[in-house]
Amino acid sequence: MEDRLNRVFSALADPIRRDMVARLAADDATVNELAEPYDVSLQAVSKHLKVLEDAGLVSRSRQAQRRPVHLEAKVFDLMTAWIERYRRQAEERYRRLDALLAAMDDSTDGTRSPDQERGAS
């Protein structure tokens, strides 16, 4: 799992690949459609796609002639969920810091607790 996540993060390390993923989040697209906005060869785009595929971020339909590229939302969601959880925990800490800063007067002491009622649960 960790190894897979490493692949995910490195797959997203490239700006073109990040952009592709963002576009695929809206809708499936063919290789040609994906390649259109970029000033790179179709081969280069295929290479980028291979990296995204190996990381499990995208899959390509085997049946349809167009072989549209599809974003595997599950992997992506997991990562996003982790980052969001981490962010929320940081936000929770910083809201406590907000309260502390508000309770600190500008005197030299500044050690008055904003939540002296807090139980040690």
Partner 1 sequence: MSTTTHETTIEAVADVPAIRIVREFDASPEKVFRAHVEPELVKQWLGPRGLTMTIDRWDAQTGGTYRYVHRDDDGEYRFYGSFHEVRPHERIVQTFTFEGFPDGVALETMTFTDLGDGRTRIVGSSTFETFEGRDSALASGMEIGVNEGFEQLDELLARS
Q: How far is C-alpha 105 from the chain's CA centre?
A: 39
In the complex, minimum distance from the CB of residue 91 to partner 1, in angstroms, rounded to a whole number: 4
In the complex, minimum distance from the CB of residue 9 to partner 1, in angstroms, rounded to a whole number: 5
In the complex, minimum distance from the CB of residue 38 to partner 1, in angstroms, rounded to a whole number: 17
Burial (CB count within 10 angstroms: exposed 0-12, middle 13-18, buried 19+), residue 57: buried
Residue closer to partner 1 (CB basis): 40 or 99? 99
Say which residues have a Cβ less than 8 Å from residue 58's Cβ, sequence separation at least 6. 21, 24, 49, 52, 69, 70, 71, 72
Residue numbers at the binding site for partner 1 (CB under 8 A): 2, 5-6, 9-10, 12-14, 18, 82-83, 85-104, 106, 110-111, 113-115, 120-121
In the complex, minimum distance from the CB of residue 115 to partner 1, in angstroms, rounded to a whole number: 7
Instruction: Measure the CA–CA gap between 31 and 33, rounded to whole angstroms.
Output: 5
Q: What is the DSSP letter of 57?
A: S
